[in-house]
A and B are shown apart, each in its own frame.
Chain A
Amino acid sequence: MSRIGKTMSALIALAVIFSVVGCVSAPAPAEPAVQKPSAPQVVQAKLTFGMAVHANPAEDLFWGVVEKGARDAAATYGITLKSGGSGQPKEQAQLIEDYVAAKVDGIFVSLANPDALKDAVKKATDAGIPVITINSGASVYKQFGALTHVGQTERVAGQGAGEQFNQAGAKKVLCVIHEEANIGLEERCDGLKDSLKGEVVRFNVATTGVKDVKGTTAAIQDKLTADKTIDGILALNPVVGIAARDAVKAAQGSQKVATFDLSTDVLDAIAAGELMFAVDQQQYLQGYLPVVLLYLYKTNLNTVGGGLPVLTGPGIVDKSNAATVKDLAKKGTR
C-alpha cells in the first residue's frame, strides 16, 4: 500500500510540474497582435528583444512598471520579449550572455554597475546585437557602444528632489535607505546631498525595508523622536514613503515628506497634502521606448537622441497634477 502511495505521490508531483509549466508557458509568447494592414509599422519583422535589469522585475514595484512598458510595446509591435533581472551583478551579466547565446535581435540593460557588465555588453555588440542602456548608465553608454540611453541618472533625480526641499525650506533631511548595498539608492542620497542647502542624514532601514513595513515605520518614528531637528524626509520607494508619512503622524511631527516613484497610495497622500511631492522618472518609458527604438533601428536603421541620452525624468508629481496621474497609476503604467 505504502509503495503504491509513494508512486502515486510521485506521479502527482510530476503532474504538478507539468501543469505549472503549462501555466507558465501559456501567456509568454505574446502572439503578434499585429498583421493589421492599418498598423503604422515601417516593416513587419519577427524580432525578439531581451531586457536585463538590476532587480528582479517580478519582485520589484518599480521594475514591474518598466517591464509592463516593455511588454506593452512588444505587444504593439509584434515583438517577442524576454525579460528578467537580478540584484546580483553576476546573474545580470549571465542573463545578458544568455540572450546573446539565444541570438536575440536587441538587448536593453540597466547599468547600475557598469564594470560588472562591461564584458557581457561587449559580447552583445561584438555579436552585432544592438544594445540600449536604460535607467542607469548615462555616463558610460557611449563607451559601451550602446545605441542610446533611455532614463535618468539616479543622482540627477536626487538633485531634483533636493531643489524641491530647498524651496520648502528644509534644513535637515533624512534620506531613508531601504535596501542594503543598492547602488541606485545610494546615488539618490548623494544627489540630494549635492543640491540640498542643508544637512542630509543617511538612515539605513534595510533590515526591515519593504519586507517589514511596520518595522520600517517604527524605525523612522524612533529616529524622529531621537533627533527633533530633522525637518524633512526623503523616501526612495513609494511603500517607504507611506511608512514615513505614518511615522511622522505617529511621532506627531511636522516633517515634510517626499518620495521617489509613484503608487496610488502616494498619489492620494499627495492630493491630501500629506506628502509634499514624488519624484517620477516615468519608468514605464524606460521599458517602452527601448523596444520602439530597437524596433526602428532593426527595421529602418533609425537612431534617436542625436548622440545624447533620452531623458525620462525627473518629473515631479505634486498637488497640482496628482489627481490626473492617479488613474494611470492604477493601470500600472505610471
Chain B
Amino acid sequence: MATETIARAHDADARVVRTGVVRRLFRRVEVGAFIGAVVVWVFFALVAPANWLTITGVSRILDSASTLGIMAVAVALLMIGGEFDLSAGVLTGTCGLIAGMLATQLGLSIWPAMAVSLVFALAVGYFNGWMVVNTRLPSFIVTLATFFILRGANVGVTRLVTQRVLVSNIDQVAGFMDARNLFDLEFSLLGAQFRTSTIWWIVIAFIATWVLQRTRYGNWIFAVGGDAVAARNVGVPADRVKIALFMTTSVAAWLVGMMSIVRLRSAVASEGIGQEFVYIIAVVTGGCLLTGGYGSVIGACIGALIFGMARVGIVFAGWDTDWFYSFLGIMLLVAVLVNNYTRRRAEAVGIAAARARTEEEGQ
C-alpha cells in the first residue's frame, strides 16, 4: 500500500497531481448544497413539470430565494468569521418600520427616512460587534438579547406611533415609486416577471465571493473565524473584522427591509421574526461550519435557492404546505451529511498527499 503510494508520488509532485474533474468537484465546499439543489430541482421537474419547467417557474423560485439569498450572503460571511447574528431577521422588520413611520408620520420623503433607518441599522451592527469583541460573550447570547429588544420595540413603538401594529400607506410618500424602482422593480424578461431584488442578490453574491476569495480582507475573515487568537498574533485586526462583519449583516437586513416595504407598501411589526433561523439554515446547507473558518458564499446562495425551490415546488405540486418544514428539515440534514462526508474526504486526500510527499523527501 505504502510503496504503491510512493511509486505514484514519484510520477508527479503530489501538490500538483492532477485530479479528475469529478473528484475536484467533490472537494468543493458547496457540493452538498449543489447535489441537494439538483435533487430537489429534478424531483419537482418530475412531479410538477407543467409549471416548473418554464421561465415563469424560474422567476417564481428566484423571487422566493432572492431576499433570503441576500441575507444568506451576509450571514455566511459572518459565520465564516466565527459569529452568529440572531437579530438579523427582526432587524429587517425594524428597518422597514423606522423608514415607514418616519416617512408617513413626519411627512418626510422616502429617501431621508431610509437614510435614517440605515444609520440605525449600522448602529445595531456596531453594537452587536462591539459587545461581542469587548465582553467576549458568545455572539449567540449578545444577538439573542438584541433580537428580543428589537422584537419588543417593534410592536411597542409601532403601537405608540400608529395605534396599530401596522404602518400603512407608505406608497403615498414622496419618492416611493423611485425607491420601488430601485429596490424591487418588476421587469419582464423572456416573457416572465423578474424583480430587481434578484439582481441585487447576484451582484452582492459576486462582490462577497470576490472579497472572500481574492482579497486580503477575505483571508482575514477566514483567519478570525478559524482561530481568532492566532489571527491576532499574526497581525490580523480581528476585532475590527468582526465588527465590520456584524455591520455588513445589518446593512443587508436594512436592504431587505427596504425591499419589503416598497414591495408591500406597508410594514408589519411582526416582520422578520423567525427568519434568522432560515438564514442560518440556508448558510449551513451551503456548507458553512457553525464553528467558523470554513464556508462559501456561493454555497449559501444555493442554500437559499433550495429553500425557494421547496417553497414554490410544494405549491406547484399541489401538496399540503403542512409538510414544508419537515421537507426543509430533511433537506438540511441530507445536505449537512453530504457536506460533512465530502469535507472529510477532501481532508483525507490532502493528508495522504502530504504524507506521500514527506515520505518521498525522506528517501
Q: How many whole Å from A123's CB to the nearest CB in chain B?
A: 8
Q: How far apart sit A123 and B155, CA to CA, in the bound complex (Å)?
A: 31
**CB-CB contacts of B128-163 with A at 8 A, as 1s and 0s?**
000000000000000000000001001100100000
Q: How many residues of chain B are within 8 Å of chain A by beta carbon?
A: 51
Q: Are A115 and B333 in contact (CB under 8 A)?
A: no
Q: How far apart sit A264 and B72, CA to CA, in the bound complex (Å)?
A: 44
Q: Given A6-B341, A9-B337, A115-B168, A101 and B264 touching (CB < 8 A)?
A: no
Q: Which of A92-100, A240-248, A325-333 contacts B (4 or more CB under 8 A)?
A: A92-100
Q: Does A168 contact B (CB under 8 A)?
A: no
Q: Are A82 and B337 in contact (CB under 8 A)?
A: no
Minimum CB distance partner of A2 in chain B:
B344
Q: Given A16-B330, A101-B60, A183 and B164 touching (CB < 8 A)?
A: yes
**CB-CB contacts of A21-53 with B at 8 A, as 1s and 0s?**
100110111000000000000000000101000
Q: How far apart sit A20 and B328, CA to CA, in the bound complex (Å)?
A: 12
Q: Does A145 contact B (CB under 8 A)?
A: no
Please report which residues of chain B, range 307-335, place their CB below 8 angstroms from some CB of chain A when the two chains form the complex. Answer: 311-312, 315-323, 326-327, 330-331, 333-334
Q: Are B268 and A183 in contact (CB under 8 A)?
A: yes
Question: Can you list 27 pairs linking A and B with CB atoms under 8 Å apart?
Answer: A9-B337, A10-B341, A13-B330, A14-B334, A16-B330, A24-B320, A83-B321, A84-B315, A88-B270, A89-B268, A90-B271, A97-B60, A98-B60, A101-B56, A101-B57, A101-B59, A102-B316, A103-B51, A113-B268, A115-B170, A115-B264, A118-B265, A180-B155, A180-B165, A180-B269, A181-B270, A186-B165
Instruction: Please give the residue numbers on chain A whose beta carbons come within 8 Å of chain B beta carbons, in ascending order.
Output: 6, 9-10, 13-14, 16-17, 20-21, 24-25, 27-29, 48, 50, 56-58, 80, 82-85, 87-91, 93-95, 97-99, 101-103, 113, 115-116, 118-119, 180-183, 186, 206
Q: Given A13-B337, A97-B60, A181-B165, A88 and B263 touching (CB < 8 A)?
A: no
Main secondary structure of the interface of B (DSSP, over half): helix
Q: Given A82-B318, A83-B321, A94 and B164 touching (CB < 8 A)?
A: no
Q: How many whole Å from A142's CB to the nearest CB in chain B?
A: 18
Q: Does B47 contact A (CB under 8 A)?
A: yes
Chain B residues with CB below 8 A from A115, complex form: 168-171, 264-266
Q: How many whole Å from B335's CB to the nearest CB in chain A?
A: 10
Q: Are B166 and A183 in contact (CB under 8 A)?
A: yes
Chain B residues with CB below 8 A from A119, complex form: 263, 265
Q: How far apart sit A206 and B64, CA to CA, in the bound complex (Å)?
A: 28
Q: Does B94 contact A (CB under 8 A)?
A: no
Minimum CB distance partner of A7 in chain B:
B341
Q: How many whole Å from B98's CB to the nearest CB in chain A?
A: 15
Q: Does B338 contact A (CB under 8 A)?
A: yes
Q: Are B263 and A90 in contact (CB under 8 A)?
A: yes
Q: Are B165 and A25 in contact (CB under 8 A)?
A: no
